[in-house]
Structure 1
């Protein structure tokens, strides 16, 4: 659900969306699961955690406008 929401916003706002499947990636990098495992889905903005659980669209729009 979060991915679909972000894909829609990406098209509208013109940002690049990079999706990482934590379960799949954790096979190669178990630390990723340890870092984000209990907060999925996680939205990172420029490598910094922006929100988790769901997309905070209002906050994301404001932060992208900066």
Structure 2
């Protein structure tokens, strides 16, 4: 008996089951985003936590000053 890949196992599921898996994943992701926003509103980051996150953040912010058009 040959083992199926993850994709092969997924494709072997009934279409209705695949739809429910997708819907479940979307609900889980939406709930996670809403919950994280709620927690962030209830317990904002302290200054020390903000500084720590800025130090490990790979994003560099550059302010752009628009030039006047002549």
TM-score (normalizing by structure 1): 0.20
Higher strand share: 1
Structure having the higher Rg: 2
State TM-score, norm by structure 2.
0.20
Query: Which of the pair has the greater relative contact order for Cα pairs under 8 Å at 6+ separation?
Result: 1
Structure with greater proportional helix content: 2
